[in-house]
């Protein structure tokens, strides 16, 4: 049965590259879009060595709507999006707040716009535990109250969750999953393992909680394979 293509934004990054491997091993064709600001093309070689499949790749920024339009013109079978594309350093966001608001929010809004235009129904959004602000109790859980963010990065994640909720409440026919709000995900496959083909050969076990959540969540929102 043919499965629809998944667009993974930020797919050469740490969590994104793990997710690409899982998607491909589950039989989903993958297209990656990444501006390589925090990664490099060698990651694609590592993904291919682990999964046996080289994903389609577009070097572009998701804030560039023309680039997104060209991508969707080329890959017409995209059925779902997993969005990892974001500036993500809390400390840097304190020094460059405008950069974080522009990149993280415009990326999401561009994706939502093109989803509506092209009839894409499923999106998994990678959020963050920074949405809990300064929690009353640690560790936080999914039931913990969301409090005022303590950084522009955390605030972009809060605002992004609100944007998705508002768009769906306004009637957009999207099936959205907000990724569990993770902190410091880890895995036996370090980022350099993808680029350097280290000791990880055919091992496919993923310890990164966010990665497993992304893949399992996406299965539930995508159209059934035909």
Query: Of 28, 100, 153, 194, which residue is the catalytic one?
Result: 153
Cβ-count burial of 52 within 10 angstroms (0-12 exposed, 13-18 middle, 19+ buried)?
A: exposed
Tell me which H or E stretch contains 45.
Answer: helix 42-51
DSSP state of 213: H
Q: Is 14 a catalytic residue?
A: no
Q: Residues with Cβ < 8 Å from 84, sequence gap 6 or more?
A: 8, 9, 10, 11, 13, 15, 16, 19, 126
Question: Using CA of residue 118, residue 112, residue 30, residue 25, what is the dihedral sign?
Answer: negative
Q: Which residues are catalytic?
A: 153
């Amino acid at each position: 049965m043919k499965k629809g293509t998944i667009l993974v934004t930020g797919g050469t990054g740490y969590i994104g590259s793990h997710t690409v491997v899982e998607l491909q091993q589950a039989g989903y064709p993958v297209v990656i879009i990444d501006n390589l600001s925090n990664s490099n093309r060698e990651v694609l070689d590592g993904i291919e060595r682990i999964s046996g499949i080289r994903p389609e790749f577009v070097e572009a920024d998701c804030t560039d709507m023309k680039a997104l339009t060209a991508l969707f013109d080329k890959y017409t079978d995209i059925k779902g999006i997993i969005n990892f594309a974001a500036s993500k350093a809390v400390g840097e966001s304190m020094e460059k707040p405008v950069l974080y608001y522009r990149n993280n929010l415009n990326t999401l809004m561009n994706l939502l716009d093109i989803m509506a235009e092209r009839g894409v129904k499923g999106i998994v959004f990678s959020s963050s535990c920074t949405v809990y602000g300064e929690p009353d109790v640690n560790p936080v859980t999914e039931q913990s109250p969301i409090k005022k963010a303590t950084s522009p990065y955390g605030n972009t994640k809060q605002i992004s969750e609100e944007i998705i909720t508002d768009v769906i409440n306004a009637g957009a026919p999207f099936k959205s999953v907000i990724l569990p709000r993770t902190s410091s995900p880890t895995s036996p496959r370090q980022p350099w393992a993808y680029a350097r083909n280290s000791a990880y050969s055919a091992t496919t076990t993923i310890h990164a909680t966010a990665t497993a959540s992304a893949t399992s969540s996406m299965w539930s929102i995508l159209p059934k394979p035909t």
